[in-house]
Structure formats: structure tokens, C-alpha cells
Amino acid sequence: MSEAIVSVFSDHVCQLGEGPSYDPATETLYWFDIVNGQLLEKPLSGGAVKIHELGQMASASAVVDDKRQLIATETGLHVRDVATGKMTLHTAIEANNPATRSNDSRVHPCGAFWVGTMGKGEAKAAGSIYWFFRGELRRLYSDITVSNSICFSEDGTVAHYTDTSTGLLMRVGCDPATGLPAGEPKIFVDHRKAKGYIDGSVLDRDGVL
């Protein structure tokens, strides 16, 4: 096996980095410093990191079109105007609970957005994982302590997620047209007796997690 080539894309230090995402239309990478309420932006071609102050904790983004992003924050899903930075609340998620915030989240191939929440102090079972698609919001899984590892197969038929506190990485079938779970989740990786914690995951085009 050839050795992986690893390089530093940005040396900007985040207090709590999360949610890297790529916009292929602009060849730009976005990510977040959750605690400081910042969205960071840098083109793949290089250059300085742009820091956008959001005014609240945020952790993930989805592309709406070339002018708008959908941002997961501690109060819900906000539409962000890329040109002006203006944030407009679209769909509230736990907005009436100041003890929770968004965490790991990801867009399903069909366009559905799975959004994880958790307690700001990692309170046990304080978070959930939600599904948002075409204006509809549903809670998929509750009693989550630290939502992480949300990812999907390229064809949209498989989803993974974890509650990091459990040490269990879950796998569930998905409806490729809606991104909704199809069936009950099953344990895919049992990490409880191993060192470290399950955090972020991704499925590559070959289905390797």
C-alpha cells in the first residue's frame, strides 16, 4: 500500500473545528469554528482564509444555489446570503433550548439534510438527529449525547451515524429518493473496548467507510 500524502490546507487554529464541506461550483472549502460562531472559507487554489462572523454557534452548511447556503446553527437552519453574509432563520431546531447546539451534519445525495444536535456541555441524551427535506423537518433519532459520523453511500441507500458516547457506529438503509431511514439501525462497528472515540466518518465512492 502506498503511503498517504497529507498536507496542511489551513493553519488557522479553531477552538472547535467542525463541518468541512466543498462547493464544486466555486471550488471552495467551508468549515466552522463552532464555539466562536465563525464560518471559514478558502478556495482550493489557495489564498487567505476568510472568516465570517455568524453571531451564534454553527457547525454545518449545505449549498442551496450560487447565492445562498443553508447553515445549521444552535437555533436551527438559516439561509445565508453568500454576497452579504445576512442570516435569515428558515426552520427552527431546538431554538427554545439554549442548552443545545448543532453538531455533525451532512447532506444526503437526494438533497435531504441530516442535522445532529447535542448539549453544549455534552449532557447525556440531550441531542437528536433530524431530517430536513423540501421544507419538512422530522426527528429521526433522539437521546443522542454527541451526534457524529453522519454519512451516506454515493447511491443514497445507506446511512451511518454515531452517538460518540456509546462507542457504536450505526448503519441503516435509506430511501435514495428521500434520504429517510428504511428499517432499524444496526451496529456496524463496536468500538467500546478500543482506544479513542468515534468522531467523523465518510463513505468514499467505493463504499469504504
Residue at 179 is within a domain: yes
- Give residue 92's pLDDT: 98
Nearest-angstrom CA–CA distance, 158 and 145: 22
The proportion of the chain whose per-residue pLDDT surpasses 70, expressed as a percent, equals 100
For the domain that residue 49 is a member of, what is the CATH number? 2.40.10.480
- Give residue 118's pLDDT: 98
Is residue 28 domain-shared with residue 43, that is, in the same domain?
A: yes
Is residue 112 domain-shared with residue 201, that is, in the same domain?
A: yes
Is residue 84 domain-shared with residue 172, that is, in the same domain?
A: no
Distances (CA, A) of 35 to 38, 39, 93, 197: 8, 11, 18, 20
Is residue 39 domain-shared with residue 76, that is, in the same domain?
A: yes
**Residue 174 binned pLDDT confidence (cut-offs 50, 70, 90):** very high
Please state, rounded to an integer, the average pLDDT across all residues of the chain.
96
**Residue 1 binned pLDDT confidence (cut-offs 50, 70, 90):** low
Is residue 102 domain-shared with residue 194, that is, in the same domain?
A: yes
Task: Write the pLDDT tens digit of every residue in 17-28.
Answer: 999 999 999 999
Residue at 8 is within a domain: no
**Residue 2 binned pLDDT confidence (cut-offs 50, 70, 90):** confident
Of 46, 77, 92, the one marking the end of a domain is 92
Is residue 134 domain-shared with residue 78, that is, in the same domain?
A: no
Task: Write the pLDDT tens digit of every residue in 135-172.
Answer: 999 999 999 999 999 999 999 999 999 999 999 999 99
Is residue 83 domain-shared with residue 175, that is, in the same domain?
A: no
Task: Write the pLDDT tens digit of every residue in 123-135.
Answer: 999 999 999 999 9
Is residue 186 domain-shared with residue 119, that is, in the same domain?
A: yes
Is residue 46 domain-shared with residue 101, that is, in the same domain?
A: no
- Give residue 165's pLDDT: 97
Residue at 2 is within a domain: no
Q: Whole-model pTM above 0.75?
A: yes
pLDDT at 46 over 90: no
Residue at 1 is within a domain: no
C-beta separation of 114 from 179 below 8 A: yes
Is residue 110 domain-shared with residue 192, that is, in the same domain?
A: yes
Of 65, 92, 119, the one marking the end of a domain is 92
Query: Is 199 assigned a catalytic role?
Result: yes
Task: Write the pLDDT tens digit of every residue in 63-101.
Answer: 999 999 999 999 999 999 999 999 999 999 999 999 999
Give the number of other Cβ atoms within 10 Å of residue 45's Cβ.
7
Which has the closest alpha carbon to 112: 183, 178, 158, 50?
178
Is residue 82 domain-shared with residue 51, that is, in the same domain?
A: yes
Of 39, 71, 92, the one marking the end of a domain is 92
- Give residue 4's pLDDT: 84
What residue has cell string 433519532?
141
pLDDT at 194 over 90: yes
Residue at 76 is within a domain: yes
Residue at 138 is within a domain: yes
> How many structural domains does the chain have?
2
**Residue 200 binned pLDDT confidence (cut-offs 50, 70, 90):** very high
What residues make up the domain containing 123?
A: 97-209
Is residue 103 domain-shared with residue 164, that is, in the same domain?
A: yes
* Phi and psi, residue 22, nearest 5°: -120, 130
For the domain that residue 174 is a member of, what is the CATH number? 2.120.10.30
Considering 81, 143, 155, 199, which one is annotated as catalytic? 199
Residue at 153 is within a domain: yes
Residue at 9 is within a domain: no
Residue 118: which residues within 8 A CB-CB, separation 6 or more? 100, 101, 103, 126, 127, 144, 145, 146, 147
* pLDDT (average), residues 30-47: 95
User: Alpha helix (H) ranges present in the chain?
Assistant: none
Q: For the chain, list the strands marked E by DSSP.
A: 17-23, 28-33, 38-43, 50-53, 58-65, 68-73, 76-81, 87-92, 100-107, 113-119, 127-133, 136-144, 147-152, 158-163, 168-174, 181-190
